[in-house]
Structure 1
Amino acid sequence: MNPVVHFEMPYEEKERLVQFYTQVFGWDMNYLGKEMGEYVVASTTETDENHMPIKSGAIGGGFYPNSPDMPKSPSVVIAVEDINAAIKRVTNAGGKILGQTVEIPSIGQYVAIIDSEGNRVGMLQPFEM
């Protein structure tokens, strides 16, 4: 089985977003900057030295700036052992690949897909797998 390892949601105002999730849930929010697409990483649970959740079943997430070419609703990222094989399975099952596979520094290979029902989902081949 391939586990859900991350969630993603859009934001309108970075400072408001960070204040909300810090105040309400106590999450650590880290801004990655322009070079990483204005992404904000949310640590939702205690992590180890590699920034991986210590608690089994817990995941972290991230927020991206709202834009016309990005989804307006939450989505999940699913870990796969072989991203190229997973891409073939997606297309064979009637899904679509959005763009090219990209490397996320120190994390792994990532690509977004559209599933058979029109949902946007991320796939990640972590470097550790």
Structure 2
Amino acid sequence: MNIPHVVTWFEIPVTDLARAVGFYETVFAAKMVQEPCPSGMTMAVFPAEGTAVKGCLIQHEACKPSADGTTVYLNGGDDLSAPLARAEQAGAKIVVPKTLITPEIGYFAQFIDSEGNRVGIYSMH
């Protein structure tokens, strides 16, 4: 089986959608789109173009934020320093500062978001 993308969709659980949307719009300097969901869920979708993997913030009683589960890495653009600084200014706790993986692979960092989730960010520079 040939799989073009390992990840096809992601959801980051939140307890306060408006607060989380404000946080992530600040971090990535981009507008999120709130969309209706079935089953009493509310969500806001991260902007992405074409065939890029897409994902959302989701609020529902069955979805609980956690710093101990799976870590999603979001695109830090050309240099993750800018969104990482905005994350800290928006109240994130930086748990792994900008760290070189290797020159060929790039950099990563991790923070605890406004909802208590551990989230990663990645860039080549």
TM-score bin, normalised by smaller chain: 0.3 to 0.5
**TM-score normalised according to structure 1 size:** 0.43
